[in-house]
Chains A and B, each alone.
Chain A
């Protein structure tokens, strides 16, 4: 099908995105984009590796999937295993400790993403010199902001340590509960700094709001498109990052599905395999693979929920919804704003939990009738995370299926790449670094954890390869 004069531009690896990603842009002779794809090398070995392992090991083992949101996997697996041991109705102490862990995780992840990965683009603009458009540049020009980013991340990590035992790959959540409570001494350390954290959350939110409103003309169409949105919500429609039932809406806000229990996820969601990608493409069954794809993550969650149950984040949500007259927001760059609303929400939740005496309770574990299947969903920082296991009578895992947020955002990221490529590259005779970086900016909005593998932060070498349709490399640029 492709004309013999087509060229393929490959951007590899995508800088400031965790994991491995490669973007290929297929051009014709006139430099018009004919196709753009984000190739994701995803780690799928886990589902095999876990087979035969005792089920209680999985919440700890599965964290190895991801270096930046291990807690989400830890909790999703633990919630699934709650069903195996019949302990899905946790004690108040267990549920609140897990929630504290989860909000600590969201807090540190959102802070990391915003301050270290996204803020250079927002503060300096996409076209700014890459020599300053990085976290070092932010530190030089906005030293306060850079320090806040570090301190907020640390705060979230310390919460993880106090609840899970370790900053990464802890053991806190166990089937049917938690293995520790929060001591008064631990609590007081966090209470001392929570007001400062909330102040910084408000500041970060303001940066995102100011950026989006000041640059609406360029930000609104940037990599944007109508889409469905999916997340879990609480029974009363409130945002709930730790637990709830599935809800999906279309681009106009019409409900496609609502209050579907996590245990029924497979009745409403299916996964499609495409020959060019290792990653699957999930879709809503009732709509079908072509149009049933959806977005997950902060933007989707703000769109799907009816309200947020903490006052400051709720006020921020209302402000956010005004931008689109109460309709779902389909602006890709609005992910950053939505993410900062959630940062504030997590801060408020942490504060409320710290003031809750249940965290000092001693009733930590429950159990009931043993089951052989466990399914659970959490809202990870990057979006909805599904864990599904089957266990034999000897307590060994015989089946595992995971849908990670980056998989759900697979199609949306491809759309975003194609949209940006078309808008910014088509027809231009030269492919500049600034233009190529527009694509990265669009991907970065989704905060993907591409291979669920962590790279050292900082700038990664960027390689641009031009390949014609016969597969011959006709140009190679490296920075």
Chain B
């Protein structure tokens, strides 16, 4: 069963098990492929395209693409860097991301990606969409201004919590995360201990009254760029 597959990422030989995705194999080899919608323990979604790599010259999502013997994967190239930067910038302008006062700052994966890719200000015009806050739940709130539609909460609630609190509704620019209830978040059975609350990469789903309890300097990405945990884990091996 476990015949080993070998392929290359940026010329480096990587071995993997059949059925793994390129991202899983890269993680094990200590190669960081940037990502946003992918989350360990959740089924891949392949929606954000931040993890775009070249497989034998064709663009593929590393989080969904299975490994295959002998494939040539490009990851850390100028061209891919430019594509990923563009995607991240578009995510920024599409919502209302005010990092300077957002309580997720320093722990936010979108912000951390922007830092890693050296994005100071997006080149696209801000769309300033009008989005709602749902603060009806006593302990959790949704600020849709910051939602990037990664679908982590949808998958976590459905597959891990077994509840299905969240679901996408609408299409295109109208697409948004809705709650499975008559009216608001308060009407769902969402609990603060749910996986769905924990997995949001940005400041869209948050526990209430936590705010800025962690000081600047002790937040997740204050000292180490996003992805460095994957890179370091391998170098320790």
A binds B: yes
| Chain B residue with the shortest CB-CB distance to A172 | B215
Interface members, chain B 137-174 (any A CB < 8 Å): 141
Known: A165-B217, A396-B135. Contact between A174 and B101, CB under 8 A? no
> How many residues belonging to B are interface residues under a CB distance threshold of 8 Å?
18
Report Cα–Cα, A166/B209, bound state, in Å: 21
B212 at interface, CB cutoff 8 A: yes
A residues in contact with B212, CB < 8 Å: 56, 60, 171, 174, 179
B103 nearest in chain A by CB position? A57
Known: A56-B210, A165-B216. 5 other contacts (CB 8 A): A57-B103, A165-B217, A166-B216, A170-B216, A180-B215
Q: Which residues of A contact B213 (CB under 8 A)?
A: 174, 179, 365
| Shortest Cβ gap from B8 to chain A (Å) | 43
Q: Beyond A60-B103, A64-B100, is A395–B208 a contact (Cβ under 8 Å)?
A: yes
Cβ-based interface call for B133 (8 A): yes
Which applies to chain B's interface (DSSP): helix, strand, loop or mixed?
loop
19 contacts between A and B (CB under 8 A): A53-B133, A54-B133, A54-B141, A54-B208, A56-B211, A57-B103, A63-B101, A64-B101, A164-B216, A169-B100, A169-B101, A170-B216, A172-B215, A175-B211, A179-B212, A179-B213, A180-B218, A395-B208, A396-B133
Q: Is A394 an interface residue (CB 8 A)?
A: yes
Within 8 A of B (CB), among A149-167: 164-166
The residues of A that contact B100 with a CB separation of less than 8 Å are 64, 169
Cβ contacts under 8 Å, A197 to chain B: none
Segment 189-237 of B: residues with Cβ below 8 Å from A:
208-218
Q: Which among B133, B209, B215, B218 has the highest number of chain A CB atoms within 10 Å?
A: B215
- Whether the Cβ atoms of A165 and B215 lie closer than 8 Å is yes
Please measure, in the bound complex, the distance between the C-alpha atom of A266 and the C-alpha atom of B213, giving whole angstroms.
32
A52 within 8 A of B: yes
Given that A64-B100, A64-B101, A179-B215 are known contacts, is A56 also in contact with B136, CB under 8 Å in the complex? no
B211 nearest in chain A by CB position: A56
C-alpha spacing A171/B219, complex, angstroms: 12
Nearest 10 CB-CB pairings of A with B: A165-B216, A56-B211, A171-B212, A394-B135, A180-B215, A61-B101, A179-B215, A60-B101, A165-B215, A396-B135
Residues of B within 8 A of A52 (CB): 133
- A169 — nearest CB in chain B belongs to which residue? B100
Size bin of chain A's contact surface: 20 to 34
User: CA of A165 to CA of B216 in the docked complex: distance in angstroms?
Assistant: 5
* A174 with B133: CB separation less than 8 A: no
Closest to B203 in A: A57
Nearest-Cβ distance from residue B43 to partner chain A, whole angstroms = 31
Tell me the complex Cα distance, A277–B184, Å: 43
Quick one: which of A358-413 are within 8 Å of B by CB? Answer: 365, 394-396
A56, B214: Cβ atoms closer than 8 Å:
no
> Which residue on B lies nearest to A81, using beta carbons?
B211
Chain A-chain B contacts (Cβ-Cβ < 8 Å), number: 57
Interface string of B51-90 (1 = CB under 8 A from A): 0000000000000000000000000000000000000000
In the bound complex, residues from chain B placing their C-beta under 8 Å from that of A166 are: 216
Residue of A nearest to B216 (CB): A165
Closest to B141 in A: A54
Q: 8 Å CB contacts to B: which residues of A3-35? A: none
Interface residues of B (CB under 8 A from A): 100-101, 103, 133, 135-136, 141, 208-218
User: For residue A62, which residue of chain B has the nearest CB?
Assistant: B101
CB distance from B197 to the nearest CB of A (A): 15
In the complex, residue of chain B having the shortest beta-carbon distance to the beta carbon of A58: B101
Residues of B within 8 A of A61 (CB): 101
Contacts of A64 in B (CB 8 A): 100-101
- The reply to whether A57 and B141 contact each other, CB–CB distance below 8 Å, is no
Looking at the assembled complex, report how far the CB atom of A103 sits from the nearest CB atom of chain B, in whole angstroms. Answer: 19
Closest A-chain residue to B186, C-beta based?
A394
CA of A180 to CA of B217, assembled, Å: 10
Most chain B beta carbons < 10 A, residue from A63, A85, A170, A395:
A395
Q: Mark A52-90, 1 if CB is under 8 A from B, else 0.
A: 111011001101100000000000000000000100000
**Nearest CB in chain A: distance from B134 CB, A:** 9
Q: Which residues of B contact A179 (CB under 8 A)?
A: 212-215
> Which B residues are CB-close (under 8 A) to A396?
133, 135
Contacts of A180 in B (CB 8 A): 215, 217-218
- When distances are taken between beta carbons in the complex, the residues of chain A under 8 Å from B133 are 52-54, 396
- Central interface residue in A169, A171, A175, A395, by most chain B CB within 10 Å: A171
> Chain B contacts of A57 at CB under 8 A?
101, 103, 211
The answer, among B101, B141, B218, for a CB contact under 8 Å with A395, is B141
- Chain B hits for A85, CB < 8 A: 209
Q: How far is the CB of A305 from chain B (nearest CB, A)?
A: 33
Are A171 and B215 interface neighbours, CB within 8 A?
yes
Residues of A within 8 A of B216 (CB): 164-166, 170-171
CB neighbours (8 Å) of B208 from chain A are 54, 395
| Shortest CB distance B23–A (Å) | 33
Tell me the bound Cα distance from A52 to B141 in angstroms: 12
Residues of A within 8 A of B217 (CB): 165, 180
In Å, the complex CA distance between A164 and B215 comes to 8
What residues on B are CB-neighbors of A174 within 8 Å? 211-213
B205 → chain A closest CB, angstroms: 13
Q: How far is the CA of A61 from the CA of B217 in the complex (A)?
A: 19
Contacts of B215 in A (CB 8 A): 165, 171-172, 179-180
In the bound complex, residues from chain B placing their C-beta under 8 Å from that of A395 are 135, 141, 208-209
Q: Which of A54, A164, A180 has the most CB of B within 10 A?
A: A54
